[in-house]
Amino acid sequence: MKDFENKVAFITGAAHGQGRAVALALAEEGADIAAFDVAKKIEYPAYDFGTNSELESLADEIRKLGRKVVTAVGDVRDDAAVTAAVEKTIKELGKIDILFNNAGICAYATVDEMTDDEWNAMIDINLKGPFNVTRRVVPYMKKAKSGVIINNSSVMGLRGGNRLSHYTASKWGLTGLTKAWAIELAPYNIRVVSIHPTGVNTPMNDGLAAMEGMTPIEIAERSAGNLLPVPWIEPEDVANLVKFVASDKARYATGSQFVIDAGLLTV
């Protein structure tokens, strides 16, 4: 039997990058998938996000694996859109066993040059977004007395980052939410963990590089400084970690931080 047979996973930021890799990895192991994505450019940061065509392409791939899939377009900042997506998932797939809070943004700014809009967008997407989704999913998990919530933080959720004060604050906040929710939800047999990747080879990294006038490898090396001789890890590396922490192999892990950093936090 596959690890996620008869399970349903709700994934935000699913159209490309880490979200897409996790959706496919869980589907390959038997899960049905609810794929949620903003599927358009937003006002900040100024790089490309997932698209409707990418979301539908993902859905096609999941169906080819023999799994059911629900797609929904919306912004994690929009509680009405989040609520509608969760309700659609429950109606069509029956439950939500796994939540991967993945949707997020990153951009550089010094503290004295950062605008209110830049600060607010970072905090609202990276921190309030997971709150919005989690509070709409948790009632169904409580009813089932089972569930796993995985928050995609960052190495910057465990250390500081140069010209990344808004991003760092959002990711430390997500680490804190992980610990608070783990305490609150343990009586309902709901586990909550966070993962902390170094730089990942995704379209976001490409967008950051373009904004900074650098190559993708240059931006990854400047941001990360990995101990192992790699500029970044791949989305599939993140997916492999998510598969582990979402599975019964990690059944007693809650409130925990799982680092996949190529040694960054060692130095």
Selecting among 140, 167, 188, 252, the annotated active-site residue is 167
CB 67 within 8 A of CB 30: yes
Q: Where are the alpha helices (DSSP H) in 94-185?
A: 116-123, 129-144, 165-185
Give residues with Cβ within 8 angstroms of 120, minimum separation 6.
none
Beta-carbon contacts of residue 85 (< 8 Å; ≥ 6 apart): 10, 34, 36, 72, 74
The C-alpha atoms of residue 132 and residue 183 are separated, in whole angstroms, by 18
The answer to whether 188 is a known catalytic residue is no
Contact in structure between 67 and 33 (CB atoms under 8 Å) = yes
Q: What is the DSSP letter of 264?
A: G
The closest alpha carbon to 35, from 47, 51, 46, 125, belongs to 51
CA distances in angstroms from 267 to 95, 206, 226, 262, listed in the order given? 42, 25, 8, 11
Catalytic residues: 167
